[in-house]
Amino acid sequence: MTSDERPKAVRIGLLGRGTVGAAFAELLEERAGAIEAVCGRRPELSGVLTRNEGDFGEIVDGSDVVVELIGGTDPARGYVIDALRAGRPVVTANKQLLAQHGEELFAVAREAGVQLRFEAAVAGVIPIVRVIQEGFAATEISKVFGIVNGTTNFILSEMAATGAAYEDVLVRAKELGYAEADPSDDVNGADAAAKMAILARLAFHTPITLDEVAYEGIEAIQPDDLAYAKELGLSLKLLGVAERRDAGISVRVFPCFLYGGHPLAPVGGPFNAVMVEAPAITEVTMSGPGAGGVQTASAVLGDLLSILSGEAPVHEARERLDVVTDVSSSFYLYLEVADRPGVLAAIARVLGDNGISVKSVVQRGIGDDARLVMVVHECLESRFAAALDEIAELEDLRSAPRSIRVIEEEFV
Ligand SMILES: NC(=O)c1ccc[n+]([C@@H]2O[C@H](COP(=O)([O-])OP(=O)(O)OC[C@H]3O[C@@H](n4cnc5c(N)ncnc54)[C@H](OP(=O)(O)O)[C@@H]3O)[C@@H](O)[C@H]2O)c1
């Protein structure tokens, strides 16, 4: 075959060459032969943009596909829109961009008739976007939930295993490279919220953005909570939950206790795990590394291969579903109480008056060290909040009550 007859290379324009971008460039070179074997054309890097290298316009002009690995919304949003409008398919790993501007970007991609792929933006190496869009394309998904932030999962696993305080484990997570220098968005739940907005959009075909996802982080978790929970057979995870409810959908991120038999309970360290539930499939669970340059780059490369060889998924929103905020949950409740007769009865009365029943109670310590730890059955969160306000007013309480959600479902 002469050089004229050989199929032209696929030119890849790379925006950003940091942790993921550099790993992607390396992997692209390493796997170019395998990609050529699948799609008949060899991919090659045609240009790179960083803060001090490359020109965006020239990179787009000289590429067939654009890979955005800058992160954040500005200037990434403008670059992705311009590349799509110029007819270039785009692969991105940018969860913030998708969670905040997904609808706009999908519309631009549709108008331009090119693909926008983003597998690496959610749940690390787990191919959850592909599974929802392709594997379960004909399935009415009822719930997508899981551990979508590796940093917080590492911290909670370490706290449970060692009894160490949150602050100490965070320092260790930074040393091991599991937490960034500024871990705020990981530990306060914002990173997981962005991923859940993307997953909810995919699973329920409804426009939903980051500002509609309620989230809580793990900064207030105490070693005590984990120790008592262990006695009750519970382990703690930061969960993202997107589910259908009677009146619409609910999308939230919160720390949550799980019973030992739950498929997510044994997922420890910096791993992610996602479960999909639907009447037709019962449930599917997938787990894998939550981040990392090479791991993320391999998901980006998978998207590139899909673009070069396959059908485009459809991103049209079907209907606008309402976001429900007051939903039912079961709760763990930690109370430091006075060691006096009738305390437990007073607390049980407040719970009972609010229609809340107790599932289990552990009583520990005497005198100034008396504590009550209980798990209550599922109730509307607004009812629980009202009960908590009343309990906080009781004379016999020595400090503010602490509560954490619990998933009551016990898998066998
Ligand atoms: N790291 C992970 O494990 C991971 C996991 C999943 C998803 N992601 C996503 O992957 C994307 C990239 O993350 P990363 O960790 O690789 O980030 P990073 O290490 O901070 O690299 C960012 C790159 O973008 C370039 N850049 C930043 N601002 C720019 C601008 N205004 N114009 C042009 N270039 C600019 C930087 O240029 P300079 O080199 O000049 O600074 C750098 O090359 C993000 O969307 C992130 O959320 C990362």
Summarised one tens digit per residue, pLDDT across range 143-190 is 999 999 999 999 999 999 999 999 999 999 999 999 999 999 999 999
Asked whether 69 lines ligand 1 (CB < 6 A), one says: yes
270 Cβ inside 6 Å of ligand 1: no
Specify whether the CB–CB gap between 382 and 374 falls below 8 A. Answer: no
User: Beta strand pairing status for 234-245 and 371-380?
Assistant: unpaired
What is the model's pLDDT at position 115?
Answer: 95
Residues of the chain with pLDDT under 70: 1-6, 311-312, 314, 410-412
**pTM: predicted TM-score of the whole model, two decimal places:** 0.91
Q: How far is the CA of 69 from the centre of ligand 1 (A)?
A: 5
Is 34 in contact with 42 (CB distance < 8 Å)? no
**The tokens of 295 are what?**
């791991």
State the CB neighbour count (10 A cutoff) for residue 309: 12
Whose Cα sits closest to atom 30 in ligand 1? Answer: 51
Q: Is the CB of 198 under 6 A from ligand 1?
A: no
Place of tokens 């209550």: 376
Q: Please give the distance, rounded to the nearest whole angstrom, from the Cα atom of residue 94 to the centre of ligand 1.
A: 9
- Span 336-388, pLDDT tens digits: 999 888 999 999 999 999 999 999 998 888 888 889 999 999 999 999 999 99
